[in-house]
Amino acid sequence: MYRKALIVSVLVAFVCVQIADSLVCYTCVTPKDCKSPKKVTCTNAAANETSYYLGVYHQNVRNLTSTRFDCLALKYNWNNDVIHQLHGCVHPNVGACSLALKPAYAHYNKTRCLTCSGDKCNKNPAGKMSSSTITIVASVLGLLLVKIYA
């Protein structure tokens, strides 16, 4: 009985750590860059870098440290051209998608902005990757639990 409980806790802890502590996001900072985005494991340093780029166009980007992170995908258009694009790890509390643009950039059209939590979930389109990954993890875990308790 103890053993089962132990196995279950280890599994749960493992899954939680996977989701919370080693989030991987796509990262790129210009439209050109975003044609072949890199991958980055989220850290405060990586999220600070995103904050820095957010701060170029937006007002009141806060300096934060976080214990968990989200992935960001942000795109602005102007006359049908992608004028600004930014993917990366963010501090959830920065509220990346509700930031106001600086007056000089207020004419930009925000065509896409999402934050999501799941490995590489900021790839196109909107977070499909993340939910499917989490679903797979959840079903595997479910199966294991059924096996252990059956």
Ligand X SMILES: *[C@@H]1O[C@H](CO)[C@@H](O)[C@H](O)[C@H]1NC(C)=O
Q: Please give the structure tokens belonging to residue 85.
A: 């694009």
Question: Could you say whether residue 66 binds ligand X (CB under 6 A)?
Answer: no
Question: Could you say whether residue 41 binds ligand X (CB under 6 A)?
Answer: no
Q: Minimum CB separation from ligand X for residue 85, in Å? A: 15
Q: Is the dihedral of CA 16, 27, 45, 99 positive or negative?
A: negative
Candidate list 35, 79, 103, 146; residue touching ligand X; CB under 6 A:
79
Candidate list 109, 131, 132, 135; residue touching ligand X; CB under 6 A:
109
Q: Minimum CB separation from ligand X for residue 99, in Å? A: 12
Q: How far is CA 120 from CA 15, 21, 90, 101, in A?
A: 16, 14, 13, 26
Using an 8 Å Cβ cutoff, are 83 and 128 in contact?
no
> Which residues make up the interface to ligand X (CB under 6 A)?
44-45, 48, 62-63, 65, 77-79, 109
